[in-house]
Amino acid sequence: MFSVLSLVKHRPLKVIRTAGLFIICFLLTIYCYALSGLIAAPEAIAQEKQYGPTNQRVAVLVFHAVGVEPDNTNVIRPEDLEATFQALKDGDYRPISLDQFHAFINGHTVVPPRAVLLTFDDGYRDIYEFVFPLTKRFNYPAVVFAISKWFDRYPRPEISREHLSLEEAGELLRSGLWRIGGHSYDGHRLVRGADNKEGAYLVTRTWLETESRLETEEEYCARVWMDITLNNNAIKLAGESEPQDFAFPYGAYCDDLVKMLKEAGCTYLYTNNPGLNEPRQDPSNIRRIGAGRKAHETMAVLEQYFGQYKN
């Protein structure tokens, strides 16, 4: 009677080869699943056991300008930003890098409890002067969402707060702590649309005064696509190889804008909608929390959000 034992006895080499091929195929299958994120890496599994699933959320904090302007709610004093960074450390909050955040959103890794991503909108020169030294001292990763027209070498006639230069943006990147995302090229402004109402540049069909009409859908898309293209090119010049992150100016977005940004390679889109972010959520709808002007304000907001998910 034929049996496995008789096969091993008479054709041992064939059995060994067959078993070896089976093992190799099995290992390759496991490897492919791991790459796709369906199976977590061993270190991710170990972290998840340590931290637990309820800790898998990230707060994306958003700051703007840094300086001394008591009447401007978007400006935080340098000493208050330093106190906020210290409070994050004392409160056991864990600033993570942009690469970590991408992997987390994609479901490919886990993060420490109380993880935060530090972001700064607009790209003011305050970042280079005040924030950059603090991130080096605390070893905190951060992201600047820059209005990239200001990277140009030649000054503009517009009245504006001073912004990062191309060289300064490049130095931030070379530090290994900072990354640059888009915040439009020239789209952080309001335009006049239908019924003489103002709207955000990237989501509003503008009123063409000389022709007494609204621009067409095709004209709108061409204008916005040009801004996205110029923005990506400027960020690449600074040293960011493939821009994937974009923060909507004023938090305003629409289906057409989201579609064009995705076509341009921007996967991770940041809103002004408050809340924490979770693994495998829609990367085109990343929630952000506005930081306070004082450390205790920011800590109170973070405690409010993270406190909802305590074990």
User: What are the boundaries of each domain within the chain?
Assistant: 1-39, 53-309
pLDDT (0 to 100) of residue 153? 81
If one compares 146 and 5, the residue with the highest pLDDT of the two is 146
pLDDT (0 to 100) of residue 114? 96
pLDDT (0 to 100) of residue 157? 80
Does pLDDT of 36 surpass 50? no
pLDDT (0 to 100) of residue 308? 84
If one compares 73 and 144, the residue with the highest pLDDT of the two is 144
pLDDT (0 to 100) of residue 81? 98
Q: Are 269 and 286 in contact (CB under 8 A)?
A: yes
Does pLDDT of 8 surpass 90? no
- CB burial of 2-13 (b: ≥16 within 10 Å; e: otherwise) equals eeeeeeeeeeee
Residue entry with tokens 């916005």: 224
Q: Which two tokens stand for residue 276?
A: 């924490």
Structure confidence by residue, pLDDT tens digits, 246-301: 999 999 999 999 999 999 999 999 999 999 999 999 999 999 999 999 999 999 99
pLDDT (0 to 100) of residue 17? 55
pLDDT (0 to 100) of residue 287? 98
Least confident segment among 30-34, 106-110, 116-120, 135-139: 30-34
Structure confidence by residue, pLDDT tens digits, 44-57: 444 444 444 557 99
pLDDT (0 to 100) of residue 11? 53
Beta bridge partners of 181: 145
pLDDT (0 to 100) of residue 154? 78
Sorted by sequence, the CB contacts under 8 Å of residue 38 that are 6+ apart come out as none
Does pLDDT of 20 surpass 90? no
Rg over CA atoms, the chain: 25
pLDDT (0 to 100) of residue 282? 98
> How many CB atoms sit inside 10 A of residue 90's CB?
10
pLDDT (0 to 100) of residue 71? 86
pLDDT (0 to 100) of residue 51? 45
Does domain 53-309 correspond to CATH entry 3.40.50.1950? Answer: no
**What sections of 210-275 are H helices per DSSP?**
217-238, 255-263
Distances (CA, A) of 148 to 86, 123, 134, 206, 234: 30, 8, 23, 22, 6
Residue entry with tokens 């951060």: 142
Structure confidence by residue, pLDDT tens digits, 203-238: 999 999 999 999 999 999 999 999 999 999 999 999
